């Protein structure tokens, strides 16, 4: 069964070929269902693989075929099927399938309907390659492929210029990170002589903790992760990426692609475990990203932008978990986050769909009456992300916070701060969208109606997953949850390197949970008081802002700083190079070569007199000369 | 055949070389000086045949028949070349009513 794993990415690829190559002919009625069906088949296969591994089957490395084979460079196409892979496969295909089904309703009537599903299937294909890859090279194919699909889908409505700009920004920012990833790969090959996980990790286990080369490798790989997962300093592309269709934001920019960085670090756990410096960097970057993004999310008024910053913030939390050594916790949060963030995005999409494209929460309000089901699922997602038991987010978040507390209580405190802000921003948009009175002017309130069946079905399924997915995994004590014990074979080595033996006592754990929980409940109540009782609505864009508020509202001016510090100087340098170096030096050299040829040709062609006698004479003279020089030498 | 080789080897090799050089130079001079296309052809034939003679002579002195085989190839090629060349000369004559090569000066810069 496990050696059939190569079929899993093949189905979405097949779907991409059919809907992509025949996108003008393939009947629009079927393409959505067809594409979803392909992902569903992959999901069923992934489920079999998962059950096989859960039944105790060992991890396997499968060599599919040769790829690059020259001298001592030997890179096959290989897949690694282990516990981590199977969990990721389930998330990618499961959430992917639900989002495909949702898209059938959401994208209905769009002129690029077939194209959309072709891109989505291609994305699922590359994402599966990324998580299945048994070496850094194969992962890199998927890594670049999902970047490409992200670019294509952000700029999906490519008739609007700003969408194309957002797509390019995402692509270029990712390239910067990818450069780090590539250099990390080179260094891995240089150090270990291979890029296969099996060889690299077994050789790495022999290194002493704190070796410099491992630190450099992990830092470079982490640079790749910051690009893909939108961490500081490469975080500005993700909010802009919201230009794409909402299901795309849900699938690529919340549930799967942006978590690739987390997956990659978790996959390389042994390398990170050997480098305390890199782990501290991961903690610092993750935590500061989580804080900054959460603060920005507090003041955004575009519902999708809030969710985008929330995603960045949650990814930061996952990196915090990785940094403190709770790899299983990070994967746990990755999974629950995939469910509840996809749910939040899709229900935001349902609102946007119902309001014909309105995304500003200041123009919403009172939607509970008109969109009762969306209200309900959004509430589920909001409770899950805020961390209210028994919703899934509570357990994964608490796992991370507990691990942070063991490492350092300060990290725990900052984590709590992030959690409180999370609850604040998510309930802010929740109250503003669903309670109060309708503030929009463009639409008649009575015309607003709930979305179609396919959209609601996937919303309900995702809501169930967000709410209850963590419960079956619980097993006396959060640390020993079933997911963690399932993933033990993957993380065993690094956890034995990192663990300092300390574990939270049951009492402390419950105390910490209690503190978090009560603070979050208080936050939700305060936001209720603010936005529902007192009906506070964020001021319009034009209103005067001062001090910290202004700073945060403008997203800490990160984009502007990048423009000033990096983009503008590059433009200026390019302008200088074009005007002086290129035009004045290189163009002249190239042109003078051409002129020389023209000039000498003009002179030399006069030799061609047309007189046969002269030609014969020249020929004889030349032969004599050749013979003469031959004799001489 | 044996007699023929003996007859040839009675003459010293220097004489063959001298004769062939003379014939070759006559041929070259004819090509350079003459303006009549037919005469130029004849001069080329003289050059070719002087080489043939030299090849035969050397082949006998070296007891190597390869030189004589080569002569046959040269003769075949020369015959083919003459066939093409004369056809060209005929066509030139039909167009210009002359076989003076100085008339063929249209192809130039």
Query: Which residue among A605, A617, A620 sits closest to B109, beta carbon to beta carbon?
Result: A605
pLDDT class of A44 with cuts at 50, 70, 90: very high
Same domain, A130 and A196: yes
Number of domains in chain A: 2
Same-domain pairing of A494 and A569: no
Peptide bond into A390 cis (omega under 30): yes
User: CA A517 → CA A332, A388, A400, A430, A520, distances in Å?
Assistant: 19, 7, 14, 19, 5
Q: Do A616 and B107 touch (CB under 8 A)?
A: no
Among the three residues A535, A553, A571, which one is the final residue of a domain in this structure?
A553
Q: With an 8 Å Cβ cutoff, is B105 touching chain A?
A: yes
d(CA A127, CA A239): 21
Residues of A in contact with B108 (CB under 8 A): 608-611
Which member of B102, B108, B109 has the closest CB to residue A613? B102
Q: Is the dihedral of CA A363, A365, A366, A371 positive or negative?
A: positive
Closest-CA residue of chain B to A608: B108
State the greatest distance between any 2 C-alpha atoms of chain B, in Å, as a whole number.
58
Domain hosting A609: range is 557-632
Query: What domains sit in chain B, N to C, each tagged with a CATH number?
Result: 2-103 (1.10.287.3510)
Whether A528 and A599 map to the same domain: the answer is no
- Write the DSSP symbol of residue B36: B
C-alpha angle A131/A136/A138, rounded to 5°?
A: 60
Q: Do B31 and A616 touch (CB under 8 A)?
A: yes
CA-CA distance, A443 to A260, in Å (whole number)?
A: 40
Q: How far is B64 from chain A (nearest CA, A)?
A: 26
Mean pLDDT of A126-152: 93
pLDDT digits (tens, 9 = 90+) for B76-106: 999 999 999 999 999 989 988 888 888 877 7
Q: Is B102 within 8 Å of A617 when comparing Cβ atoms?
A: no
Q: Which helix (H) or strand (E) holds A69?
A: strand A60-70
A614 touching chain B per CB within 8 A: no
Q: How far apart are CA A327 and CA A273, in angstroms?
A: 10
Is residue A178 domain-shared with residue A119, that is, in the same domain? Answer: yes
Which chain A residues have a beta carbon less than 8 Å from that of B35? 613
Domain end position, chosen among A521, A553, A585 = A553
Rounded to an integer, what distance in angstroms lies between the CA atom of residue A102 and that of residue A456?
8
> How far apart are the C-alpha atoms of A20 and A7, rounded to whole Å?
19
Best mutation target among A601, A603, A612 (most B Cβ atoms within 10 Å) is: A612
Contact yes or no for A608 and B105 at CB 8 A:
no
Question: What's the pLDDT score for residue A361?
Answer: 87
Query: Which residue, A553, A582, A614, sits at the end of a domain?
Result: A553
> What proportion of chain B, given as a percentage, has pLDDT over 70?
97
> Minimal Cα–Cα distance from B30 to chain A, Å?
11
Whether residues A72 and A156 share a domain: the answer is yes
ipTM: 0.83
Q: What is the pLDDT of residues A344-386, one digit of tens each?
A: 999 999 998 888 888 888 888 888 888 889 999 999 999 999 9
Between A12 and A494, the more confident residue is A12
List, in order, residues 6 or more apart from A129 with CB less than 8 Å away. A9, A138, A139, A141, A142, A145
Residues A348 and A263 in one domain: yes
Residue A591 has pLDDT above 80, yes or no: yes
The answer to whether B100 contacts chain A (CB < 8 Å) is no
pLDDT of B43-53, one tens digit each? Answer: 999 999 999 99
Residue of B32, B104, B108 lying closest to A617 (CB–CB): B32
Q: What is the dihedral of CA A43, A4, A67, A63, to 10 degrees?
A: 120
Reported as a pLDDT band with limits 50, 70 and 90, residue A477 is low
Contact indicator for A201, A137 with CB cutoff of 8 Å: no
Residues of chain A with pLDDT > 70: what percent? 98
Q: CA A61 to CA A11: how far, in whole Å?
A: 21
What's the average model confidence in pLDDT over A118-128?
94
Mean pLDDT of chain A: 89
Contact check, Cβ <8 Å, A616/B102: no
How far apart, in Å, are the Cα atoms of A87 and each of A47, A131, A263, A390, A581? 9, 10, 11, 22, 54
**Rounded Cα gap, residues A311 and A435, in angstroms:** 24
Instruction: List CB contacts (< 8 A) between B41 and chain A.
Output: none
Tokens of A603: 């002179």
Let me know whether A420 and A562 are in one domain: no
Rounded CA-CA distance A112/A24 in Å is: 10
Same domain, A188 and A260: yes
Domain identity same for A153 and A130: yes
Q: CB within 8 A of A390, min separation 6: which ones?
A: A467, A468, A470, A471
A563 and A532 fall within a common domain:
no
Residue pair A38/A121 in contact by the 8 Å Cβ criterion: yes
For residues A523 and A569, membership in a common domain is answered with no
pLDDT tens digits, A564-578: 998 899 999 999 999
Residues A126 and A166 in one domain: yes
């Amino acid at each position: 069964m496990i050696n059939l794993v190569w079929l899993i990415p093949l189905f979405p690829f097949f779907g991409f070929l059919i809907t992509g190559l025949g996108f003008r002919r393939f009947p629009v009625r079927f393409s959505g269902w067809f594409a979803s069906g392909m992902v569903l088949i992959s999901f069923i296969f992934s489920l079999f693989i998962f059950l096989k591994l859960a039944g105790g089957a060992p991890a396997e490395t499968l060599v599919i075929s040769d790829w690059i084979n020259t001298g001592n460079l030997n890179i096959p196409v290989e897949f690694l099927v282990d516990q981590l892979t199977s969990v990721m496969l389930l998330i990618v295909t499961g959430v992917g399938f639900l989002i495909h089904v949702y898209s059938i309703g959401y994208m209905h009537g769009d002129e690029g309907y077939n194209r959309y599903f072709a891109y989505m299937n291609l994305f699922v294909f590359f994402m599966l390659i990324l998580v299945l890859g048994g070496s850094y090279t194969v992962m890199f194919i998927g890594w670049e492929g999902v970047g490409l699909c992200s670019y294509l889908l952000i700029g999906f409505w490519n008739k609007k210029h700003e969408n194309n700009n957002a797509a390019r920004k995402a692509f270029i920012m990712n390239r910067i990170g990818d450069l780090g990833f590539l250099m990390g790969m080179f260094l891995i090959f240089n150090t270990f002589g291979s890029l296969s996980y099996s060889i690299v990790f077994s050789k790495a286990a022999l290194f002493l903790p704190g070796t410099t080369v491992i630190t450099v490798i992990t830092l470079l790989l982490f640079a790749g992760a910051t690009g893909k997962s939108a961490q500081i300093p490469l975080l500005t592309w993700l909010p802009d990426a919201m230009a794409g269709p909402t299901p795309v934001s849900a699938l690529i920019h919340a549930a799967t692609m942006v978590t690739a960085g987390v997956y990659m670090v978790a996959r390389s756990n042994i390398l990170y475990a050997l480098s305390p410096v890199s782990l501290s960097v991961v903690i610092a970057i993750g935590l500061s990203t989580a804080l900054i993004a959460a603060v920005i999310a507090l003041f955004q008024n575009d519902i999708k932008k809030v969710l985008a910053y929330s995603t960045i913030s949650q990814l930061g939390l996952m990196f915090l978990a990785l940094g403190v050594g709770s790899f299983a916790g990070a994967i746990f949060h990755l999974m629950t986050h995939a469910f509840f963030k996809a749910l939040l995005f899709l229900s935001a999409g349902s609102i946007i769909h119902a309001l014909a494209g309105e995304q500003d929460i200041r123009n919403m309000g009172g939607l509970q009456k008109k969109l009762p089901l969306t209200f309900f699922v959004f509430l589920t997602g909001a409770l899950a992300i805020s961390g209210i038991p028994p919703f899934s987010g509570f357990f994964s978040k608490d796992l991370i916070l507990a691990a942070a507390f063991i490492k350092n209580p300060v990290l725990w405190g900052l984590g709590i701060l992030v959690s409180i802000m999370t609850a604040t921003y998510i309930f802010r948009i929740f109250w503003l969208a669903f309670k109060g009175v309708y503030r929009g002017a463009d639409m008649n309130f009575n015309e607003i109606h709930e979305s179609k069946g396919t959209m609601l079905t996937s919303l309900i399924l995702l809501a169930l997953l967000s709410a209850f997915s963590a419960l079956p995994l619980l097993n006396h004590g959060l640390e020993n949850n079933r997911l963690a014990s399932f993933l033990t074979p993957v993380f065993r080595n690094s956890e034995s390197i990192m663990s300092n033996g300390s574990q939270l006592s049951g009492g402390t754990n419950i105390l910490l949970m209690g503190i978090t929980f009560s603070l979050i409940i208080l936050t939700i109540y305060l936001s209720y008081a603010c936005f529902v009782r007192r009906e506070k609505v964020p001021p319009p864009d034009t209103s005067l802002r001062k001090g910290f508020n202004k700073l945060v509202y403008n997203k800490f001016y990160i984009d502007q700083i990048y423009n000033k510090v990096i983009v503008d100087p590059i433009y200026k340098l390019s302008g200088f190079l074009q005007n002086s170096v290129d035009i004045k030096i290189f163009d002249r050299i190239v042109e003078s070569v051409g002129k020389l040829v023209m000039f000498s040709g003009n002179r030399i062609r006069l030799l061609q007199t047309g007189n046969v006698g002269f030609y014969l004479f020249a020929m004889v003279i030349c032969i004599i000369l050749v013979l003469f020089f031959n004799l001489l030498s | 055949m044996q007699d023929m080789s003996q007859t040839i080897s009675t003459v010293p090799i220097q004489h063959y070389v001298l004769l062939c050089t003379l014939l070759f130079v006559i041929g070259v001079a004819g090509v350079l000086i003459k303006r009549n296309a037919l005469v130029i052809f004849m001069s080329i034939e003289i050059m070719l045949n002087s080489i043939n003679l030299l090849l035969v002579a050397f082949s006998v002195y070296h007891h190597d028949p390869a030189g004589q085989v080569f002569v046959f190839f040269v003769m075949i090629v020369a015959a083919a070349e003459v066939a093409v060349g004369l056809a060209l000369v005929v066509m030139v004559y039909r167009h210009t009513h002359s076989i003076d090569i100085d008339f063929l000066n249209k192809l130039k810069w």
